[in-house]
Amino acid sequence: MQRIIAYVDGYNFYYGLRHKGWRRLYWLNIQAMARELLRANQQLVATKYFTTLVRVPADKRQRQITFLEALVHL
């Protein structure tokens, strides 16, 4: 069994969704998405999500923090 770690560029992922108008996917379960991309002989052992915090406005920053906290609990 091949062990896989998924690395996600959160900044580009978010802005790619935003550019396409796919708001419904903003709260996508990143780990579940990574599992869907695996082949039969692969096992997801970790998902790493990289991003930077938005500076302003405060409400957007708080939503981002809430999302990042949710990722930790998946």
CA pair distance 63, 60, nearest whole angstrom: 5
Q: Which residue is listed with tokens 């896989």?
A: 4
Q: What is the pLDDT of residues 13-72, one digit of tens each?
A: 999 999 999 999 999 999 999 999 999 999 999 999 999 999 889 999 999 999 999 999
Q: Which element (helix H / strand E) includes 68?
A: helix 58-72
Q: What angle do CA 47, 74, 18 make, to 5 degrees?
A: 70
Name the amino acid, one letter, at 67.
F
CB distance 4 to 45 below 8 Å? yes
Which pLDDT value is given to residue 74? 77
- pTM, full prediction: 0.83
